[in-house]
Amino acid sequence: MKIVFAGTPDFALTALRALVDARHEIGLVISQPDRPSGRGMKLTPSPVKAFAISRGIEVLTPTNLNPAKSPEALKETLTKIRAFAPDVLVVAAFGMIVPEAMLEAPLGIGHARDIKAINIHASLLPRWRGAAPAARAIEAGDERFGVSLMRMDAGLDTGDIISTVDFPIEAKDTTATLTEKAAKAGADLLVHALASPETLTTTPQPEAGVTYAKKLLKEESRVSFETDAATLERKIRAFTPFPGVKCAYRDTEIRIHHATVKENQGKPGEILALGKEGVLVSCGKGSLLIDVLQRAGRPKMAADDFLRGFPLQVGESLR
């Protein structure tokens, strides 16, 4: 099958690699422009762009595809797509709004050849439309997660569903691990769907159960120990790897990388105990045993190593 692919991070790369391995013809890849990365802030291509170049696939990296703001970039992209005449456009974590003209450019697949653009969305739609579905699912305490293949339309993750797959959210899952699971599940779902394109049909999303996964903001990273321990533990996992969860001891900022829920109780933020197992801190309900911590500019450490270099005091507070 002839495919144009639009995507940027590792989540998208998993799908692109699966399409290549399945021997589909990828005539064009569209990705975000190179970004500064690493200590030297060197311009670095996205994972999708780097892979496409390694496989000799043509890559476009427009800065904007808004027809009002960047008409020339959109015109170039559409010209390339139409020249290739793909059967379908596949989009995964592209990070840019795809204009309707692009959605309508492919020839189309499916029972009625009306599926021209497919999006791989990491959630069980209509729950968690938007930018950060894995993080918000963990934060909310969802028991299950999944991936939806949908026929793209002009809305925000509002397209008709082609197929879904779901799996449990495990107690140790972070946004990083859950996203990795979703990437693999989504790639498998896509390859399976495209193996029999003529049979594909779509179903409108239910009107009930719509939720939105807003983008994670750095301002949300500050922890409040007035909150119950179970909610804080989920937040730590949801905000790993970005933007992290932070607190302060006296005037020193500390990032919390991992913790488990305990039943001990004291004043919110009070350090109840210190030891090899971790730093036990009281919350609004229950407590957290924090076992991986990090000071600004330092590597993350197990609690025992952290406390040797930066002693805390029982009875004092994290805030």
User: Would the pLDDT of 206 be above 90?
Assistant: yes
Q: Give per-residue pLDDT as tens, 89-116.
A: 999 999 999 999 999 999 999 989 999 9
User: Would the pLDDT of 293 be above 90?
Assistant: yes
User: Would the pLDDT of 38 be above 90?
Assistant: no
Q: Give the pLDDT confidence score for residue 91 in this predicted structure.
A: 99
Whether the CB-CB separation of 148 and 108 falls below 8 Å is answered with no
Domains and CATH numbers, the chain: 2-213 (3.40.50.170), 220-309 (3.10.25.10)
Pairing between strand 144-151 and 161-168? antiparallel
pLDDT band of residue 72 (cuts 50, 70, 90) is very high
User: Would the pLDDT of 301 be above 90?
Assistant: yes
Q: Give the pLDDT confidence score for residue 40 in this predicted structure.
A: 84
Q: Give the pLDDT confidence score for residue 31 in this predicted structure.
A: 99
Whether the CB-CB separation of 135 and 217 falls below 8 Å is answered with no
Q: Give the pLDDT confidence score for residue 224 in this predicted structure.
A: 96
Residues in the chain: 319
The values of phi and psi at residue 162, to 5°, are -95, -50
Average pLDDT value for the chain? 97
Q: Give per-residue pLDDT as tens, 258-292.
A: 999 999 999 999 999 999 999 999 999 999 999 99
pTM for this entry: 0.95
Whether the CB-CB separation of 16 and 31 falls below 8 Å is answered with no
**DSSP one-letter code for 307:** H
Residues 88 and 4: their CA atoms lie apart, in Å, by 7
**For the residues 121-147, what does the mean pLDDT come to?**
99
